[in-house]
């Protein structure tokens, strides 16, 4: 019991000695000294005056228990040690200590700074809800609860970080999410012994199954509707305080190419759009390597009419195709990176002018061929179609080793690259679940969740890939019932 | 980690179809036509069908053998039937077969790629790349990866079949006549020469314990073999109709030569696409045989599969660089075909009888 002596207040004060904004307000009430301690930068002052200071003044009889019962504040807690109290005060609570009492009281009057709710930036949509998560975990949980009103929604709290503790919430729907998955997530989170975690993207890397791969293993989203959709399909979300992105796991390779818009659009459109996206990404990885391979080793493959055009445009280029391709790819990467770092207005001008001027000048100066500019521009466009920023970045990088393989061994080199990719993706897991599902292990009924879209009446089951405890969504038979004519 | 290794490693029965089929289809189908044609002339396709029928029977016998006792793979069957010492020798023979099969595919593919596309590239370089690819795949991947690769590469390569029918425009069906001209001896030789192309179904002896639904293995294995027989017979018929007999006698890679006339508006010389693509066809072969070797290594020397993997990879690379010339590679592939013929086409019947006798003897002593 620490609070037996009056000067124990000094211990709390000593712990907070490095904060010039630490205040200790003494109020005399019925001949007893009441101390109110707080960090003035962190609290809501109006709240403090109205609900704490004035309230204490008005009391006839004063004791910790009575204050704990009567204070008109939601979050109140009784502290046994001064260390505990100091840590509460650091979080923006106010500590109350009454002379000759054995315990202290803390009340939550913190005022947190946060951004207002805004439109999603990185995952922009045309249809559907536009709201995105913010940096405050309380707001994020509130948004989630508004989206998912299922009574089985669980939001479990785990603290991570020794030096700079961070609140992490594991959210899932109790009777849908697979228990093993939930256990794995919780176990991995609890086994993390680390001093601090900065952001959810960093936490996602710490939870990785494979550290050395270039593929992301967990989906990061800032869209509440996407999280709600994933939870209801049996996945698990991880909220991290101070981070506007939520981790969704387990994730498959194909979920990085889905957007929530696929669900909002009608089935035919979203099937075509998904195909376009897949094709774009495929082209983004393989177009420039194909150019390099074919021009360097197998120009016989190109029909003669096309070969003439290519030959003509390459006639002034003094470099081998691989140098040409690497140079142009590097230039595009440079433009993209510069565009991302600059403020929006300058960035746009720079992108357009830099792209057109540099591209045109490169051809005129005989550095590259026109055909290659088209190819590189196409593959850059293709990589932009990846809805996940992380996967888009992966695809950007992936192109370079394959260009090199193509330069070494031509088409066979590209297929060696394909084999390595295939093997690598087959080996990968996310949260111990196969990454390439539903392609392998093959799940026919999950195809409608990954590669194509069907009319909504076909979505009577949750995807098997997530191993939901309860996979039924509605009655398939009723949905498919045909009415008689004139019925 | 949480599950028993048995359930985590096992696969669904339908994958047996892909495993058996992709283990069978490999390099042989690219040039099988000439080899059979030399023996059985225009009746070559009948030889293919006969050999297919024979394989159906063999697959049936293999599945029956595996069902007989609690020993459900060839290595423990051998020890069970022949005792420790002779069983060890028999197992070693099986491993040597897989080593030869692996190396022959390695050499055959590299040789084909070099001849058609990269005349200046050293043979050992190509072999090394493939060996490293195999080791990368199996290390940490194991059997599930073999199954995954055969499943996916099957779909990535099967579309080529559609293109094979394009040469039919120039087919002279008269080349197929007269039917049944081959003497029984010629036909037998034809069947024998088909063996190298059709080999691969013997992996059933090793993958069997890894399948969840044992009772459905037989069905899917038969379907896999049926598809292989159909494809090989189809390319043989097309090649006989497409080439004149004299031409076919000297065309080593008949399937590839047929692809030379395939033309699209954006691709000429289609065989330049097919040869790189064939890497995906032989990849499951390489993985399957290497994996089988590591299983054998475990049975022979009680070493962990991951160490066996490196051992056998080095060994096959060493064997591969001994052969440099087309002639020696051809001879080697013939040897593998011959060895494989006895081991896979004939031996399963004997093994069945031995196991039957052994279980019977054991049952009567009890």
Say whether both A152 and A221 belong to one domain.
yes
In a domain, A129, yes or no: no
pLDDT of A6 strictly over 60: no
A2 or B16: which carries more pLDDT confidence?
B16
Rounded Cα–Cα distance for residues A403 and A258 (Å): 27
pLDDT of A118 strictly over 80: yes
| A298–chain B Cβ distance below 8 A for any pair | yes
Q: Do B152 and A415 touch (CB under 8 A)?
A: no
Q: What is the ipTM metric for this complex?
A: 0.92
Query: Percentage of residues in chain A with pLDDT exceeding 90?
Result: 37
A14 or A143: which carries more pLDDT confidence?
A143
In a domain, A392, yes or no: yes
Q: How far is B11 from chain A (nearest CA, A)?
A: 9
Nearest Cβ partner of A301 from B137, B267, B280?
A: B267
Report pLDDT for A112: 83
In a domain, A131, yes or no: no
Query: Percentage of residues in chain B with pLDDT exceeding 70?
Result: 96
What residues does A123 pair with on adjacent strands? Answer: none
| Mean pLDDT over each residue of chain B, to the nearest integer | 88
Report pLDDT for B6: 63
Confidence of residue B41 (pLDDT cuts 50, 70, 90): confident
Confidence of residue B365 (pLDDT cuts 50, 70, 90): low
Say whether both A235 and A272 belong to one domain.
no
Say whether both A273 and A418 belong to one domain.
yes
Say whether both A153 and A214 belong to one domain.
yes
Report pLDDT for A1: 40
Say whether both A294 and A410 belong to one domain.
yes
Among A83-87, A218-222, B224-228, which is the least confidently predicted range? A83-87
Q: Do A411 and B273 touch (CB under 8 A)?
A: yes
Say whether both A350 and A217 belong to one domain.
no
Rounded Cα–Cα distance for residues A427 and A264 (Å): 33
What is the CATH T-level fold of the domain B11-340, as seen in this structure? Amino acid/polyamine transporter I (1.20.1740)
Cα end-to-end distance, chain B, whole Å: 40
Say whether both A82 and A225 belong to one domain.
no
In a domain, A124, yes or no: no
pLDDT of A32 strictly over 90: no
Among A4-18, A215-229, B41-55, B342-356, which is the least confidently predicted range? A4-18
Closest-CA residue of A relative to B112 is A412
Strand A22-29 relative to strand A246-249, pairing: unpaired
- How many of the other CB atoms lie within 10 Å of CB of B70? 7
pLDDT in tens, B293-308: 999 999 899 889 889 9
Report pLDDT for A7: 61
Say whether both A156 and A245 belong to one domain.
yes
DSSP assignment of A216-247 equals --SEEE--HHHHHHHHHTT-EEEEETT-S-EE
Confidence of residue A349 (pLDDT cuts 50, 70, 90): confident
Q: Do A412 and B141 touch (CB under 8 A)?
A: no
Say whether both A351 and A207 belong to one domain.
no
Report pLDDT for B68: 84
- Mean local confidence (pLDDT), B320-340: 83
Mutate to test the interface with A, among B141, B148, B291 (most CBs of A within 10 A): B148
| A46–chain B Cβ distance below 8 A for any pair | no
Q: Do A301 and B118 touch (CB under 8 A)?
A: no
pLDDT in tens, A221-258: 999 999 999 999 999 999 999 999 999 989 999 999 98
Report pLDDT for B32: 86
DSSP assignment of A283-322 equals HHHHHHHHHHHHHHT-GGGS-HHHHHHHHHHHTT--S-HH
pLDDT of B248 strictly over 70: yes
Confidence of residue B4 (pLDDT cuts 50, 70, 90): very low
Interface of A with B in 422-441 (CB under 8 A): 422-423, 426-427, 432, 436, 439-441
Domain ranges of chain B: 11-340
For A328, the enclosing helix (H) or strand (E) is helix A321-341
Closest-CA residue of A relative to B125 is A409
Mutate to test the interface with B, among A408, A414, A419, A433 (most CBs of B within 10 A): A419
- Mean local confidence (pLDDT), A366-395: 89
Report pLDDT for B5: 44
Q: Do A412 and B265 touch (CB under 8 A)?
A: no
Nearest Cβ partner of A422 from B113, B152, B266?
A: B152
pLDDT in tens, A139-164: 999 999 999 999 999 999 999 988 88
Q: Please state the domain count of chain A.
A: 4
| A299–chain B Cβ distance below 8 A for any pair | no
Report pLDDT for A33: 82
Say whether both A321 and A409 belong to one domain.
yes
pLDDT in tens, B107-118: 999 988 888 888
B204 or A5: which carries more pLDDT confidence?
B204
Report pLDDT for A450: 87
Say whether both A209 and A235 belong to one domain.
yes
For residue A454, what are the domain limits?
444-479
pLDDT in tens, A172-207: 999 999 999 999 999 999 999 899 898 999 999 999
Report pLDDT for B326: 67
């Amino acid at each position: 019991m620490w609070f037996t002596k009056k000067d124990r207040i000094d211990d709390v004060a000593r712990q907070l000695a490095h904060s010039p904004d630490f205040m200790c307000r003494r109020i005399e009430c019925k001949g007893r000294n009441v101390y109110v301690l707080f960090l003035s930068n962190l609290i809501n002052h109006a709240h403090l005056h109205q609900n704490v200071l004035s309230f204490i003044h008005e009391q006839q009889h004063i004791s910790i228990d009575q204050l704990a019962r009567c204070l008109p504040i939601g979050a109140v807690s009784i502290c046994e040690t001064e260390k505990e109290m100091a840590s509460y005060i650091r979080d923006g609570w106010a500590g109350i200590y009454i002379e000759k009492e054995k315990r202290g009281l803390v009340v939550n009057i913190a005022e947190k700074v946060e951004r207002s709710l805004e439109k999603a930036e990185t995952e922009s949509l045309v249809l559907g809800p536009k709201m995105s998560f913010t940096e405050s975990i309380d707001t994020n949980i509130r948004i989630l609860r508004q989206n998912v009103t299922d009574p089985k929604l669980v939001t479990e709290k785990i603290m991570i970080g020794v030096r700079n503790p961070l609140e992490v919430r594991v959210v899932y729907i109790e009777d849908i999410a697979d228990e093993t998955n939930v256990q794995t997530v919780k176990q991995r989170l609890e086994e993390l012994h680390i001093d601090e975690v900065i952001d959810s993207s960093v936490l996602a890397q710490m939870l990785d199954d494979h550290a050395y791969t270039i593929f992301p293993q967990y989906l990061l989203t800032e869209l509440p509707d996407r999280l709600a959709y994933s939870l209801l399909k049996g996945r698990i979300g991880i909220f991290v305080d101070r981070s506007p992105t939520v981790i969704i796991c387990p994730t498959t390779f194909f979920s990085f190419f889905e957007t929530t818009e696929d669900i909002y659009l009608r089935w035919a459109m979203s099937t075509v759009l998904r195909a376009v996206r897949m094709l774009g990404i495929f082209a983004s990885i393989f177009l420039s390597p194909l150019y390099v391979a074919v021009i360097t080793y197998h120009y016989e493959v190109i029909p003669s009419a096309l070969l003439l055009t290519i030959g003509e445009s390459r006639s002034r280029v003094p470099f081998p195709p691989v140098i040409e391709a690497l140079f142009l790819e590097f230039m595009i990467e440079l433009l993209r990176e510069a565009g991302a770092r600059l403020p929006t207005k300058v960035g746009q001008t720079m992108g357009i002018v830099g792209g057109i001027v540099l591209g045109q000048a490169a051809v005129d100066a005989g550095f590259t061929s026109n055909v290659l500019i088209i190819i590189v521009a196409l593959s850059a466009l293709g990589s932009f179609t990846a809805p996940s920023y992380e996967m888009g970045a992966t695809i950007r990088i992936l192109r370079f080793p394959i260009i090199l393989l193509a330069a070494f061994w031509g088409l066979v080199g590209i297929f060696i690259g394909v084999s390595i990719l295939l093997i690598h993706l087959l080996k990968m897991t996310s949260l111990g679940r196969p990454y390439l599902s539903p392609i392998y292990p093959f799940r026919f009924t999950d195809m409608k969740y990954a590669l194509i879209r069907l009319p909504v009446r076909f979505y009577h089951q949750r995807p098997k890939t997530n191993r939901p405890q309860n996979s039924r969504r509605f009655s398939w038979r009723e949905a498919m019932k045909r009415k008689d004519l004139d019925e | 980690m949480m599950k028993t290794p048995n359930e985590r490693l096992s696969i669904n029965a339908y994958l047996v179809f892909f495993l058996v089929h992709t283990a069978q289809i490999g390099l042989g189908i690219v040039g099988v036509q000439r080899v059979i044609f030399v023996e059985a002339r225009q009746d070559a396709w009948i030889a293919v069908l006969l050999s297919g029928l024979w394989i159906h029977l063999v697959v049936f016998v293999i599945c029956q053998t595996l069902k007989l006792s609690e020993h459900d793979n060839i290595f423990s069957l051998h020890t069970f039937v022949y005792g420790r010492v002779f069983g060890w020798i028999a197992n070693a023979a099986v491993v040597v077969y897989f080593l030869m099969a692996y190396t022959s595919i390695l050499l055959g593919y590299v040789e084909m790629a070099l001849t058609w596309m990269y005349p200046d590239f050293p043979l050992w370089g190509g072999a090394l790349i493939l060996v490293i690819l195999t080791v990368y795949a199996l290390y940490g991947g194991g059997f599930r990866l073999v199954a995954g690769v055969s499943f996916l590469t099957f779909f990535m390569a099967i579309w080529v079949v559609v293109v094979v029918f394009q040469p039919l425009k120039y087919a002279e069906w008269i080349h197929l006549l007269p039917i049944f001209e081959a003497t029984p001896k010629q036909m037998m030789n034809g069947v024998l020469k088909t063996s190298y192309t059709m080999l691969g179904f013997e992996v059933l002896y090793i993958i069997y314990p890894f399948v969840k639904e044992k009772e459905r293995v037989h069905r899917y294995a038969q379907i896999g073999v049926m598809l292989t027989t159909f494809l090989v017979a189809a390319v043989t018929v097309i090649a006989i109709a497409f080439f004149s007999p004299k031409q076919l006698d000297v065309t080593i890679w008949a399937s590839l030569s047929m692809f030379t006339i395939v033309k699209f508006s954006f691709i000429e010389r289609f065989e330049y696409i097919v040869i790189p693509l064939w890497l995906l066809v032989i990849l499951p072969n390489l993985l399957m045989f290497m994996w089988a070797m590591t299983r054998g290594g475990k049975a022979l020397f009680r070493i962990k599969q991951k160490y066996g993997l490196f051992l056998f990879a080095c060994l096959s690379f060493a064997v591969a660089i001994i052969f440099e010339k087309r002639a020696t590679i051809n001879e080697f592939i013939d040897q593998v075909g011959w060895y494989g013929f006895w081991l896979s086409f004939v031996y399963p019947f004997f093994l069945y009888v031995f196991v039957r006798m052994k279980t019977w003897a054991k049952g009567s002593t009890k």
